């Protein structure tokens, strides 16, 4: 597949409420850093980043922190849209100090090549700090949940240091931490280590200063227990697993140490203690015995190398429990439309005879409320080859449980393809040779017949290369062999698709969407689309600047509303902005990861005057990502809706009167209106169309839901 693997930027750093210009000489002076631990450092020559105060949280003690407006970098398999942000420290965190990183770009796709990790591992002096990387806004109680965080381990939202082997107790939720560095034993002998945390945690120690020799010596929360475990601050005796066996250490040597911790609700803390030889009790490891693995005042090359050494092929990154998760796999459908030249309909329009096509389940009447779902107006297609949508479960409004798209049996698919190829040969001779059956969708109407979408890779002997055939054919119920061309039901290849979204204060998510569309455009997947953003005076992002900096600035329109949030009116306004009645509008949600063929799929299933398209999304469960999935098909939501502008206008779009400032049910109402307008509903589970779990943290958002 032609997925882009751009190198993401190193994580954004903590941003001060008040910036202080510090010279680069002072930033390399450890004494200065230790004596100014409470300062928020802004490195000279580091690009300025606008700080907003619109996304605030309050921690224990009433201290405020501010989320920074960051610059996420597109990456096909990371969640860099959601939380590529730095977090200014609260008063509770004043024990930690931080120096910003000014190095190059790093990526989880980057190999550790040409890097000698051994030459960067040794720390001969004690500087009194440990490195702390933190990720926020990600679900889960267990350490494996942190490992599933798509930004982990390369892109923390917080990058700072600790003065001792303990964090402050806060009330922050959905936090994950990676603490790492060296411990320096003051004497030779047998040491016992212990860990305490909320919630799950793991303590790793190397046999020397090489991080690659790290082994897990203590933990809280059994592997496979999704709820982890938890202790109060400094309680090292709740579980036997919290304490290590006696481990012999030698004075004068440095030992790499690392902690991973994941917290979901309630208090947040993690601390590590040791019992020295001859002592009777555990004591939290103090600053005189610790040092950083990464010194951000060092040369850029060293910082890069050190980070790569602990973020690639590192023992602490391996899952403790990796069951019951699915993996995304390549499918020929994914890039067929961009990999193979399209065969225009005009080239094969004479292959089959025309025949009338009017399914029995298509109606022209005003439906009762939710009748689209209680009736039998939505028919789901059968698909061949297996699209693997059956690895995830779904249930519908009637509480029917299903497992993905229905399967079209291989023999049935082969018969239809064989019939079409015979008809093709009669008209075109031996010009075309079947190379691959890429996709067949069969939609059954027991009363009248079955409609098929055939997508075949053919060798065109005239052009001497492959072409994509993508055609609808029909087999009437009274004819089991002959196919025909369903009159009026062929899709347009080059029609513009205008995506319409509405937003208020979800800046990182709108960045993610624009990054996705930019990738689709710049990588040549599609260039015939447009984006309309209807914004309700968002204060956490400058949308106009975002558009200007994107690679699709000429394909984005921004409509500003300064009223109370009104979703249905906003979407109708966005559609009204589109003037061409012969273009497709596609209403969409935020928090969606679109497949790169999304616009091609919308075009194929949206036929002017005949059908609209509403794909089912795969909703990722809290704490899971595309690369490590637990998810279910959302069959009762219809927020993604594609129709020709002329058809949208014919049924009046969304009901602004019934659904004013509140929403919930407006998508069902839209289905009633569209189906009642004599349009066929095209509904199937679309592989690689994901909905990310996200926090609903804005008061306006909760108020607006019914």
Residue with the bigger pLDDT between 171 and 285: it is: 285
Asked whether the CA dihedral 163, 165, 170, 171 is positive or negative, the reply is: positive
pLDDT of residue 199: 87
Q: Which domains does the chain have, with CATH numbers?
A: 117-317 (2.60.120.380), 497-653+663-691 (3.90.550.10)
Average pLDDT over residues 562-580: 93
Residue with the bigger pLDDT between 651 and 704: it is: 651
> What is the Rg, in whole angstroms, of the alpha carbon atoms belonging to the chain?
29
Average pLDDT over residues 584-603: 96
pLDDT above 90 (res 704): no
Pick the closest to residue 274 from 359, 205, 228 (CA basis). 205
Are residues 326 and 629 in contact, defined by beta-carbon separation less than 8 angstroms?
yes
Q: What is the band of 414 on the pLDDT scale with cuts at 50, 70, 90? A: very high
For the chain, the first-to-last Cα distance in angstroms comes to 41
Mean pLDDT lowest among 96-105, 190-199, 692-701: 96-105
Mean pLDDT lowest among 55-69, 532-546, 577-591: 55-69
pLDDT of residue 122: 65
Average pLDDT over residues 448-454: 97
pLDDT of residue 398: 62
pLDDT digits (tens, 9 = 90+) for 243-259: 999 999 999 999 999 99
Average pLDDT over residues 639-659: 94
Are residues 126 and 290 in contact, defined by beta-carbon separation less than 8 angstroms?
yes
Pick the closest to residue 489 from 335, 349, 342, 676 (CA basis). 349
Mean pLDDT lowest among 103-107, 222-226, 383-387, 596-600: 103-107
Are residues 558 and 533 in contact, defined by beta-carbon separation less than 8 angstroms?
yes
pLDDT of residue 173: 82
Average pLDDT over residues 641-666: 87
Average pLDDT over residues 603-619: 96
pLDDT of residue 219: 96
Average pLDDT over residues 130-145: 89
CA–CA separation, 175 vs 264, rounded Å?
A: 6
pLDDT of residue 698: 45
CA–CA separation, 216 vs 49, rounded Å?
A: 39
pLDDT above 80 (res 604): yes
pLDDT of residue 662: 56
Q: What is the band of 629 on the pLDDT scale with cuts at 50, 70, 90? A: confident
CA–CA separation, 185 vs 392, rounded Å?
A: 50
pLDDT of residue 265: 82
Average pLDDT over residues 201-230: 91
Task: State the residue for tokens 């329009």.
Answer: 349
CA–CA separation, 574 vs 568, rounded Å?
A: 10
Q: What is the band of 222 on the pLDDT scale with cuts at 50, 70, 90? A: confident
Residue with the bigger pLDDT between 501 and 326: it is: 501
CA–CA separation, 488 vs 517, rounded Å?
A: 31
Instruction: Please give the share of the chain, as a percent, with pLDDT higher than 90.
Output: 58
Give the total residue count for the chain: 706
Mean pLDDT over all residues of the chain? 81
pLDDT above 90 (res 177): yes
Average pLDDT over residues 598-617: 97
Q: Which residues, at least 6 apart from 96, have a Cβ–Cβ distance to it below 8 Å?
A: 37, 89, 132, 160, 161, 162, 163
pLDDT digits (tens, 9 = 90+) for 289-321: 999 999 888 888 888 889 999 998 899 999 888
pLDDT digits (tens, 9 = 90+) for 483-522: 999 999 999 999 999 999 999 988 888 999 999 999 999 9
Burial class (CB in 10 A: 0-12, 13-18, 19+), 698: middle
pLDDT above 50 (res 51): no
pLDDT digits (tens, 9 = 90+) for 92-132: 333 333 333 333 334 444 444 556 777 776 666 678 999 99
Are residues 558 and 544 in contact, defined by beta-carbon separation less than 8 angstroms?
yes
Instruction: Please give the share of the chain, as a percent, with pLDDT higher than 70.
Output: 79
Q: What is the band of 395 on the pLDDT scale with cuts at 50, 70, 90? A: low
């Amino acid at each position: 597949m032609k997925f882009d693997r751009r190198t993401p930027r190193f994580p954004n750093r903590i941003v001060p409420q008040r910036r202080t210009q510090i010279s680069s000489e002072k930033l390399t002076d450890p004494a200065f850093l230790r004596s100014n631990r409470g300062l928020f450092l802004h490195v000279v020559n580091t690009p300025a980043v606008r700080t907003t105060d619109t996304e605030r949280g309050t921690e224990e003690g009433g201290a405020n922190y501010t989320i920074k407006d960051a610059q996420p970098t597109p990456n096909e398999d990371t969640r860099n849209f959601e939380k590529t942000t730095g977090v200014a420290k609260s008063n509770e965190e004043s024990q930690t100090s931080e120096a910003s990183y000014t190095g190059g770009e790093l990526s989880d796709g980057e190999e550790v090549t040409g890097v000698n990790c051994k030459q960067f591992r040794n720390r001969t002096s004690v500087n009194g700090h440990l490195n702390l990387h933190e990720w926020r806004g990600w679900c889960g109680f267990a350490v494996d949940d942190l490992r599933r965080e798509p930004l982990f381990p390369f892109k923390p939202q917080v990058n700072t240091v600790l003065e001792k082997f303990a964090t402050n107790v806060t009330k922050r939720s959905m936090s994950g931490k990676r603490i790492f560095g060296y411990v320096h034993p003051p004497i030779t002998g047998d040491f016992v280590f212990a860990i305490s945390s909320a919630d799950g945690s793991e303590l790793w120690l190397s046999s020397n200063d090489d991080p690659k020799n790290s082994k897990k010596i203590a933990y809280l929360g059994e592997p496979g227990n999704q709820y982890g475990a938890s202790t109060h601050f400094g309680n090292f005796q709740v579980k036997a697993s919290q304490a290590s066996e006696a481990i012999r250490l030698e004075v004068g040597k440095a030992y790499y140490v690392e902690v991973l911790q994941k917290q979901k609700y309630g208090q947040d803390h993690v601390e590590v203690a040791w019992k020295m030889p001859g002592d009777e009790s555990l004591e939290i490891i103090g600053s005189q015995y610790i040092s950083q693995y990464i010194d951000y005042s060092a040369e850029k090359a060293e910082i890069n190398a050190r980070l790569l050494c602990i973020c690639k092929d590192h023992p602490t990154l391996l899952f403790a429990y990796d069951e019951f998760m699915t993996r995304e796999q390549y499918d020929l459908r994914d890039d067929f439309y961009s990999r193979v030249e399209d065969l225009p309909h005009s080239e094969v329009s004479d292959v089959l005879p025309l025949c009338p096509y009017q399914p029995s389940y298509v109606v022209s009447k005003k439906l009762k409320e939710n009748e689209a779902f209680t009736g039998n107006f939505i028919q789901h297609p059968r698909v061949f080859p297996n699209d693997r949508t059956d690895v995830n479960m779904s249930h519908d409004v009637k509480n029917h449980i299903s497992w993905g798209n229905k399967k079209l049996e291989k023999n049935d698919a082969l018969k239809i393809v064989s019939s079409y190829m015979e008809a093709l040969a009669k008209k075109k001779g031996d010009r075309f040779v079947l190379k691959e059956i890429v996709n067949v969708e069969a939609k059954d109407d027991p009363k009248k017949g079955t409609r098929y979408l055939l997508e075949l890779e053919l060798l065109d002997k005239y052009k001497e290369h492959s072409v994509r055939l993508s055609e609808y054919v029909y087999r009437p119920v009274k004819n089991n062999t002959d196919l025909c061309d369903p009159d009026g039901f062929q899709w347009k290849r080059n029609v513009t698709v205008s995506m319409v979204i509405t937003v208020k204060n979800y800046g990182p998510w709108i960045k993610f969407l624009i990054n996705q569309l930019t990738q689709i455009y710049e990588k040549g997947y599609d260039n015939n689309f447009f984006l309309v953003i209807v914004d309700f005076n968002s204060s956490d992002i400058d949308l106009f600047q975002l558009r200007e900096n994107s690679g699709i600035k000429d394909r984005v329109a921004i409509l500003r509303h300064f009223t109370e949030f009104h979703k249905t009116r906003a979407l109708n306004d966005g559609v009204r902005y589109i003037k061409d009645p012969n273009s497709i509008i596609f209403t969409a949600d935020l928090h969606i990861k679109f497949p790169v063929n999304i616009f091609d799929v919308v075009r194929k299933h949206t036929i002017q005057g005949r059908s609209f398209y509403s794909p089912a999304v795969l909703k990722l469960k809290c704490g899971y990502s595309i690369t490590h999935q637990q998810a279910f098909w959302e069959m009762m939501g219809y927020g993604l809706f594609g129709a020709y502008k002329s058809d949208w206008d014919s049924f009046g779009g969304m009901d602004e009167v019934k659904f004013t400032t509140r929403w919930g049910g407006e998508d069902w109402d839209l289905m009633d209106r569209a189906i009642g307008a004599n349009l066929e509903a095209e509904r199937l589970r679309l592989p690689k169309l994901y909905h990310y779990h996200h926090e609903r943290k804005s008061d306006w958002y909760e108020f607006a839901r019914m």
